[in-house]
C-alpha cells in the first residue's frame, strides 16, 4: 500500500487508501469544510470515515448511531494537538437520504454530539458538504462563528492562554484504555510545556478554510485506527529533543528539606538520627516527582545522616541519585560534588545551564552552583545563615522564601529556557 507523508519530523507516514475503497467517493463528496481561526496553531491532518446504513455502535466514538435517512457518514478528525493536550479526535456525522442530499449534520463539542443548525435553523451546508466553524485551540464544532464567540468566547480564550497545556497528554481515550498508548510523567510535563509556549489569542476571524491548506487526508477509519498509536508514539518520542526543559534538579538537605533546628545527633558523633521536615517539603517533593522531574540530593555530611533523615520521611527513594560529601571526600562548593552529581544523573557539560541547584547556603550551595554553571536557587527560609552575598559568586540567580514556591518557579524557568535547552541540544 502506498505511503502518504503527514507533516512532522521523523513521524510515520499514513497508508494511502485506494479510491476504489467502498464508499470512498461518497465520503469524499460530503467531506466537511472546516473553517479555522486565523490564529489556530493546529490543523486536522486526517479524516477517517465509516458509513452506517442501519443503527449501530460507532466504530470510533462512544455513541450509538441512528440514521435519520439512508445512511450516516461518520468522519473521525485527527489533530495531533489540542491547545490543552496531545491527542485530539473530533467527529462530524453527515446524514444523507437516498438521493445523496444532506438531511442532518451532527458534530462533536467537548464530549457531546450536537445537531448543527445556523441561527435561522438552516443546515450549515455548502453544496453537499457541511461547513463548520472550529473552536480555536479546542476544535469543537459550531454552525455559526458569532454564536460560538458569544456562548463560549470567554472560556475558549482562557483555555488558549492561561490554561494552555493544562492536561499535558490526553490518556482517557479508546487507545489508552486498550493499552495501545501511554506516556510517562516526564513526557506529560514536556507536552504541557510545549503547549504553554504555544498559547495564543484567538482572532475570531475564520477565513482559514482547510481547502486553502494542504488537503485533509481521507482514509477508512480502520487505517486511521491502526495509524494513531504509531503517530502518538512518534510525537511523544520527539518531545525531549524539541521542548526546552530542565535536565535535573539538585537539592541540598539541611534547611532545604529538613529543619536543622530539630535535628538530633547520635551522642558523640556528627551523625543525625532524626529531624523534622521544613513546612511543605514533602508536598514539594511529591509535586516535582508527579511532574516527572529528576532529583539528585547534593548534600554535605555523613551518608548515614541523610539515609536516616530521608528514610524517616519516605523521601530517600524519591531521589534518582545521592551525592554526599562523606562519600566524595570534599564539601560544596567543590566542583567534585557537582561533577559527581552530573555523572550520576547522566548529564553532560551542555546540560549544566538547564540544571538547577537549590540550597540554603550562599557560601556552599550558591557559590558551587554558580561556578559550575548551574542555575542557582537560594532558599531564604532559615535565618541560621547569612542571606547577604559577600562575593559576586554568592549571588543566587533566583531566590525563594518557602520551599513550596519551587515547583511553580521551575515551570517558569522551563518556559523561559532557550529553544536549544533540549535533550542533546547545545547552547
Q: Is the pLDDT of residue 1 over 80?
A: no
From 382, 373, 372, select the one nearest 403 (Cα to Cα): 382
How do residues 210-239 score in pLDDT, each as one tens digit?
A: 655 557 899 999 999 999 999 999 999 999
Residues 6+ apart with CB under 8 A from 285: 257, 295, 315, 318
Q: Is the pLDDT of residue 129 over 70?
A: yes
Largest CA distance in the chain: 95
How do residues 159-173 score in pLDDT, each as one tens digit?
A: 999 999 999 999 999
Please give the pLDDT value at position 419.
96
Which residues share a beta bridge with 248? 355
Q: Are 12 and 23 in contact (CB under 8 A)?
A: no
Please tell me the distance from the alpha carbon of residue 128 to that of residue 101, in angstroms, as a whole number. Answer: 7
Average pLDDT over residues 406-417: 98
How do residues 265-308 score in pLDDT, each as one tens digit?
A: 999 999 999 999 999 999 999 999 999 999 999 999 999 999 99
Please tell me the distance from the alpha carbon of residue 194 to that of residue 250, in angstroms, as a whole number. Answer: 23
Average pLDDT over residues 133-162: 98
The percentage of the chain sitting over the pLDDT mark of 90, rounded to a whole number, equals 91
DSSP 301: S
Please give the pLDDT value at position 426.
57
For the four alpha carbons of 84, 89, 95 and 100, in that order, the dihedral sign comes to positive
Q: How many CB atoms lie within 10 A of CB 390?
A: 10
Please give the pLDDT value at position 213.
54
From 293, 318, 289, select the one nearest 306 (Cα to Cα): 318
**DSSP letters of 363-395?**
IIIIHHHHHHT-EEEEE---SSS--S-SSGGG-
Report CA Rg, the chain.
Answer: 27
Give the 3-state secondary structure of residue 29.
helix
How do residues 55-66 score in pLDDT, each as one tens digit?
A: 999 999 999 999
DSSP 362: I
Please tell me the distance from the alpha carbon of residue 219 to that of residue 95, in angstroms, as a whole number. Answer: 19
Flag the least confident range among 18-22, 173-177, 204-208, 264-268: 18-22
Q: Are 409 and 402 in contact (CB under 8 A)?
A: no
Confidence of residue 3 (pLDDT cuts 50, 70, 90): very low
Please give the pLDDT value at position 427.
42
Give the 3-state secondary structure of residue 249.
strand
Strands 264-265 and 375-379: unpaired
How do residues 314-339 score in pLDDT, each as one tens digit?
A: 999 999 999 999 999 999 999 999 99
Please give the pLDDT value at position 71.
97
Distance of CA 173 to the CA centre of its chain: 16
Please give the pLDDT value at position 5.
47
Q: Is the pLDDT of residue 423 over 70?
A: yes
Q: Regarding predicted confidence, which is higher, 222 or 424?
A: 222
Residue 206 Cα distances to 46, 248, 378, angstroms: 20, 43, 48
Q: Is the pLDDT of residue 10 over 90?
A: no
Give the mean pLDDT of the chain: 94
Please tell me the distance from the alpha carbon of residue 155 to that of residue 195, in angstroms, as a whole number. Answer: 17
Amino acid at each position: 500500500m502506498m505511503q502518504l507523508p503527514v507533516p512532522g519530523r521523523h513521524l510515520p507516514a499514513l497508508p494511502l487508501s485506494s479510491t476504489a475503497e467502498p464508499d470512498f467517493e461518497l465520503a469524499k463528496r460530503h467531506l466537511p469544510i472546516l473553517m479555522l481561526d486565523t490564529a489556530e496553531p493546529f490543523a486536522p491532518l486526517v479524516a477517517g470515515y465509516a458509513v452506517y446504513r442501519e443503527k449501530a455502535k460507532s466504530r470510533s466514538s462512544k455513541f450509538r448511531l441512528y440514521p435519520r435517512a439512508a445512511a450516516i457518514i461518520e468522519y473521525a478528525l485527527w489533530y495531533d494537538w489540542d491547545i490543552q493536550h496531545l491527542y485530539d479526535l473530533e467527529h462530524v456525522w453527515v446524514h444523507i437520504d437516498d438521493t445523496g442530499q444532506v438531511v442532518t449534520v451532527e458534530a462533536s463539542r467537548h464530549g457531546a454530539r450536537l445537531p448543527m443548525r445556523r441561527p435561522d435553523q438552516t443546515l450549515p451546508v455548502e453544496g453537499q458538504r457541511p461547513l463548520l466553524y472550529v473552536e480555536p485551540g479546542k476544535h469543537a464544532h459550531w454552525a455559526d462563528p458569532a454564536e460560538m464567540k458569544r456562548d463560549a468566547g470567554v472560556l475558549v480564550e482562557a483555555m488558549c492562554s492561561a490554561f494552555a497545556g493544562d492536561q499535558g497528554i490526553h490518556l482517557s481515550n479508546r487507545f489508552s484504555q486498550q493499552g495501545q498508548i501511554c506516556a510517562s510523567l516526564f513526557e506529560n510535563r514536556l507536552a504541557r510545556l510545549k503547549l504553554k509556549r504555544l498559547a495564543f489569542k484567538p482572532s475570531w476571524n475564520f477565513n482559514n478554510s482547510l481547502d486553502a491548506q494542504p488537503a485533509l487526508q481521507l482514509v477508512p477509519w480502520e487505517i486511521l485506527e491502526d495509524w494513531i498509536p504509531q503517530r502518538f508514539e512518534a510525537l511523544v518520542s520527539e518531545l525531549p529533543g524539541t521542548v526546552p526543559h530542565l535536565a535535573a534538579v539538585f537539592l541540598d538537605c539541611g534547611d532545604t528539606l529538613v529543619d536543622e533546628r530539630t535535628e538530633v545527633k547520635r551522642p558523640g558523633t556528627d551523625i543525625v538520627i532524626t529531624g523534622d521536615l521544613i513546612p511543605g517539603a514533602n508536598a514539594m517533593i511529591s509535586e516535582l516527582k508527579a511532574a516527572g522531574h529528576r532529583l539528585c540530593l547534593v548534600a554535605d555530611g555523613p551518608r548515614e545522616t541523610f539515609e536516616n533523615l530521608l528514610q524517616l520521611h519516605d523521601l530517600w527513594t524519591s531521589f534518582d541519585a545521592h551525592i554526599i560529601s562523606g562519600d566524595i571526600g570534599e564539601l560544596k562548593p567543590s566542583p567534585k560534588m557537582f561533577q559527581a552529581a552530573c555523572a550520576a544523573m547522566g548529564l553532560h557539560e551542555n546540560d549544566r545551564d538547564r540544571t538547577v541547584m537549590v540550597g540554603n547556603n550562599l557560601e556552599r550551595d550558591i557559590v558551587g552552583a554558580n561556578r559550575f554553571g548551574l542555575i542557582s536557587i537560594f532558599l531564604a527560609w532559615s535565618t541560621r545563615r547569612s542571606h547577604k552575598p559577600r562575593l559576586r559568586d554568592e549571588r543566587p540567580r533566583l531566590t525563594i522564601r518557602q520551599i513550596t514556591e519551587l515547583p511553580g518557579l521551575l515551570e517558569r524557568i522551563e518556559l523561559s529556557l532557550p529553544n536549544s535547552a533540549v535533550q542533546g541540544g547545545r547552547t
